[in-house]
Amino acid sequence: MIKLNRNLVPDTVNTSPDYYCTWQTQLYASNDGGPQGQRDILNENALFGRSFPNGWTDFYPDARRDLLFVMDDSWDVPYGEGPFDSKWYGSLILDAEKFPSFAGEKTENKIALKAINEAVKQKGWRGLGGWICAQTAPAFKGADREEYWKARLLEADFSGWSYWKIDWGEDSRDIKFRKMINTLKKQFAPKLIAEQAMITELVPSSDVYRTYDVPAIMSIPMTMEKLAEVLVFDAESDCLALIDCEDEVYIAAALGCSMGVMRHPMAGPLPDGRPDPSFPDLHRNLKTKLDEVTRAVRWHRLAPAFAVNGSSTVISDEILTDTWQVEDQPREIEAWWKFKNGDVIEKRAPAAIVRGLPLPAVVPDSNGDIPFITAAKNPNGAVSIATLGRTVGRSFKTPKCELVLDTEDAAVFGIFGEYKSLTLKTAKAISKSHILAQDLLDNASYDITDNIIIGNGFITVSGELIYKIGTMCAHSGDTSEPGLIIKIENY
């Protein structure tokens, strides 16, 4: 393995609408204060303060240039008010008490929104977004709905906001409302990205469609199940039609989707010492896997998220079943689901989802197990693949298997997860090629030509080498699975 003075990751900014969202950080900082505690904790100090557990705009120093920062529920709602007693839900007016440095009685809302956007960007983030309640705020009851949202889109356009995460509300299941937002946005805030959810019929005509909430313990099979429902659509013209698979960042990277990152760097229990129910440390412990986020968004510099195209999506007929047994502790320690001790939770999903390529061949491990798998060929020709772990009983692991993927004529590959071996078949002439590899966290590549098997139209890389390269620049204490780029290059 020879180190080269070359960086395979371009020094550009990720163009995919990937974002970090504050909701689970709100839960953590409020000591799981319930939805109301989470709403009240979102304020200026939480974003920009220096005392623990504040300063959220300081998160992800290595990734935030590639990420948008999305304030979740309730940046536009006063302290102590909830969705059923506040007249401001859906107002999109930055609350002056929560954000006194930006908003006030004499400050126009569009000026306040622009000021906080600039403050977030000065911290190094790509831009700012916000959680949007899907309703006309009760304070404006009787307003013409189209004019109401036109005014808010014009403010978003003036302030330079990047993203609207449109969630629940009185109109959340109203397809006419959501289609209206998609239409008005194109006219009055063309640079704003509007994320839709809940109504799968909206997938083809939206900028982004979010697969929606899943608990961390069963996030992989539940996300795979949801993706199988939405990746069968074909995009309409004049829209992004991307799928956001939330915090499953390696699925997003390998499947050409965007991501809404929820994990955050405040690892361990809540500030009061109780377990963090959002990211249980008895399972994947996602708060110790921040390197995955950086690797995923850096791969998106090379292979951005791309529009749904149902005709090129292949979904495995094989269904895998994951299970989790709830026991010996109250359910709120493990997740927000409503199960009691002793219950066995069962989730089923397709074994593999692939976009633009045939399904890979997989040899089960010595126990007869296989991982969940995602793979895709990007419109720019790059190919990506990920193996994803399994949850059984009360354990999580990734079966290490032999995989063979036909990549057609690809020469650039993003590899995520763990393997026994990975064979990449390619139509490229490779007999006189050099094979380069690089941890997606790194800025230097390695020539691994002599460390792999090169055959007639294929290369085979061992799982040990994938792990070695793909975690080479891991931060201390980070438990992320490998993420690397491999490139076939002629000299």
Residue matched to tokens 């204060």:
33
Task: List the beta bridge partners of residue 437.
Answer: 446, 486
Positive or negative torsion for Cα 310, 244, 88, 85: positive
Q: Which fold has domain 19-311?
A: TIM Barrel (3.20.20)
pLDDT at residue 344 tops 80: yes
Span 249-261, pLDDT tens digits:
999 999 999 999 9
pLDDT digits (tens, 9 = 90+) for 16-52: 999 999 999 999 999 999 999 999 999 999 999 999 9
Domain range list for the chain = 2-7+316-490, 19-311
**Is 60 exceeded by the pLDDT of residue 164?**
yes
- Bridge partners for 397 per DSSP: 390
Q: What is the pLDDT of residues 242-291, one digit of tens each?
A: 999 999 999 999 999 999 999 999 999 999 998 898 998 888 999 999 99
The pLDDT, as a whole number, for residue 336 is 60
pTM: 0.97
Cβ–Cβ contacts within 10 Å for residue 308, how many?
24
Give the integer Cα–Cα distance in Å for 161 and 156: 5
Q: What is the DSSP annotation of 31-44?
A: TS-HHHHHHHH-SH
Amino acid 477: pLDDT:
95
pLDDT tens per residue across span 306-331:
999 999 999 999 999 999 988 766 54
For 90, 97, 100, 229, 262, the CA distances from 20, given in Å and listed in that order, are: 21, 24, 23, 24, 6
Q: Place 343 in a pLDDT band, splitting at 50, 70 and 90.
A: confident
Average predicted confidence (pLDDT) for the chain:
95
User: What pLDDT, on a 0 to 100 scale, did the predictor assign at position 238?
Assistant: 86
Mean pLDDT over 62-79 rounds to 97
Residue 129: both structure tokens together? 């977004």
- Return phi, psi of residue 95, to 5°: -70, 125
Q: Do the beta carbons of residue 77 and residue 69 sit within 8 Å?
A: no
φ and ψ at residue 26, rounded to 5 degrees:
-60, -40
Percent over 70 (pLDDT), the chain? 98
* Cβ-count burial 115-144 (b if 16+ within 10 Å, e if not): bbbebbbebebbbbbbbbbbbbbeebeeee
Q: How far apart are CA 128 and CA 114, in angstroms?
A: 10
Q: What angle, 0 to 180 degrees and rounded to 10, lies between the N-to-C axes of helices 175-188 and 145-159?
A: 40
Task: Give the pLDDT confidence score for residue 283 in this predicted structure.
Answer: 86
Q: Model confidence at 64, in pLDDT bands (50, 70, 90)?
A: very high
CA atoms of 191 and 55, how far apart (whole Å): 28
For residue range 394-411, list pLDDT tens digits in order: 899 999 999 999 999 999
Kindly state the average pLDDT of the residues 115-135.
Answer: 98
Q: Mind listing the pLDDT tens digit for each residue in 109-121?
A: 999 999 999 999 9
φ and ψ at residue 223, rounded to 5 degrees: -70, -40
**Could you read off the pLDDT of 215-238 as tens digits, one per residue?**
999 999 999 999 999 999 999 988
